[in-house]
Amino acid sequence: MELQRVPAGPDDDGWAPEACALPTAERPLRVAEFDALFAEEVTAVRPAGTGRVRMELRPEPRAAARAAELAARETGCCSFFTFTLVATGGALALEISAGDRRTAVLDALAARAARMAAP
């Protein structure tokens, strides 16, 4: 899989906040990994309540493994994120929350995912 950078949009402000512990030099690669997940596995992005977003994923084991692995690494540098992988009734989703103080980060992430989601 080749990772490609997607041009930033006006909704991307705050995507990599100062609270992120990932070294600055590694951030573009992490963004590219999320971009690839959004473009290849996410089929829909919906609000899931206050401070939460739900990303519908292709209901395949590969998508689940890919989302879980990326989520686990992301919480290592951005501990304010909470990721929940939900598999039920043949559907698969990644629910993300970021706490009240990080809603702008979550909004930027959700907007980027919605813009790139696979049809």
From residue 58, give the alpha-carbon distance in Å to each of 20, 28, 86, 91, 94.
Answer: 28, 25, 12, 8, 11
Rounded Cα distance between 107 and 119, Å, is 21
Containing structural domain, residue 51: 45-102
Which pTM was predicted? 0.82
State the CB neighbour count (10 A cutoff) for residue 103.
15
Rounded Cα distance between 86 and 79, Å, is 20
Rounded Cα distance between 117 and 119, Å, is 6
Rounded Cα distance between 91 and 93, Å, is 7
pLDDT tens string, the chain, 119 residues long: the values are 333 334 444 444 445 555 566 767 877 888 889 999 999 999 999 998 888 999 999 999 999 999 999 999 988 888 889 999 999 999 999 999 998 888 888 888 899 999 999 77
- Asked whether residue 116 is domain-assigned, the answer is no
Annotate 80-101 with DSSP letters as a single string. T-EEEEEEETTEEEEEEE--GG
- Asked whether residue 85 is domain-assigned, the answer is yes
- Asked whether residue 37 is domain-assigned, the answer is no
- Asked whether residue 107 is domain-assigned, the answer is no
- Asked whether residue 97 is domain-assigned, the answer is yes
**Tokens at residue 108, please?**
């930027």
- Asked whether residue 20 is domain-assigned, the answer is no
- Asked whether residue 108 is domain-assigned, the answer is no
Counted domains in the chain: 1
